[in-house]
Copies of this chain bind each other. A is one copy, B any other.
Amino acid sequence: MEKFEVHILGCGSALPTTRHHATSQVIDLRDKLYMIDCGESAQSQYRKAGLSFARLGHIFISHLHGDHCFGLMGLISTFGLLGRTATLHIHAFPELETLMRPWLDYFCAGMTYEVEFHPFAHGCTDIIYEDRSVSVQAFPLSHRVPCSGFVFQEKPTAAHIRRDMIECFEIPFSQINRIKNGEDYVTPDGKVIPNSRLTTPADTPRKYVYCSDTRFNPNNVQYTRNADLLFHEATFAEEHAARAEQTCHSTARQAAEMAQRSAAKRLLIGHYSARYTDERILLDEARQVFEQTLLAEEGKCYKL
């Protein structure tokens, strides 16, 4: 299977602690990198994770709370110092460009590359980005301010060619991609080998869904359904369910309910309140509802 993994750079909530940084993740899909949210210190965490700066082209910002975007200026400046030339694309609500443009003009004048904003509207459910590997759909979450989740849907891959058939028919290298994409093979003496004999089916395209800050909202199952990996915020334990409701956040149990209703393969929880010195309470509560739950940990990578 092609690479599709999620690196956690920060999984704390608004109040950073000595144990957790503000929110940021990097998706590595077929060796292209996509960042989701960019809290303070994201660039340091990125470096520590050993990820390539050059392979990052697109950043998706879920909402305009500081713990999800205060790391952008530092990251952008660093790319400038490193002599980046490729345009960096930022997908966010339009207010972010309004806020950042004067800072970019002041602090990043004369940079070797461009920062291009791709605004999308509050409540947007469009595919806001796609390339040949992935499409990214936005969908509205239920937070105190406009906030967006993201569905990373892998594009279908080609079928797998059977090695034994390559050897059996001495298929030349030049024909491999054509066969992977569905063509039959015609041998030098004119015999047609049907594609079905030469290939095994392509892998099922995978789906990663990112639910940033949100209260429990089962309507969003239409977007989270069948996720191979569902990230869902789990700021609070059940004992603080009232606080979760009040601040438009979720409990670990609610995150697990979303995973269950979505028939997700696995659930990854994060955005932990600073009040918990041990997040196993969140893991335990989630697993009572949805066994395949994982606790996000900084510096760790989760494969789909």
Q: Which residues of A contact B (CB under 8 A)?
A: 14-18, 21-22, 40-41, 43-44, 47-48, 64-67, 70-71, 73-74, 77-78, 81-82, 95, 99, 102-103, 106-107
Contact = CB atoms under 8 A, between A and B. Distances in A.
Stoichiometry, copies per complex: 2
A66 B99 contact: no
B82 A15 contact: yes
Contact of A106 (B64, B67, B78): B64
Contacts of A21: 44
A99 B106 contact: yes
Contact of A16 (B44, B73, B99, B102): B44
Given A21-B44, A99-B103, 19 more contacts: A14-B78, A14-B81, A15-B78, A15-B81, A16-B43, A16-B44, A16-B74, A16-B78, A18-B44, A18-B47, A40-B40, A40-B43, A40-B71, A40-B73, A40-B74, A41-B41, A67-B77, A70-B74, A99-B102
A43 B39 CA distance: 13
A95 B106 contact: yes
Contacts of A40: 40-41, 43-44, 71, 73-74
Contacts of A18: 44, 47-48
Given A99-B103, A106-B99, A77 B44 contact: no
Interface-centre pick from A15, A16, A22, A40 (highest chain B CB count, 10 A): A40
A47 B17 contact: yes
A70 B106 CA distance: 13
Contacts of A95: 106
A44 to B, nearest CB: 6
B77 A70 contact: yes
B102 A66 contact: no
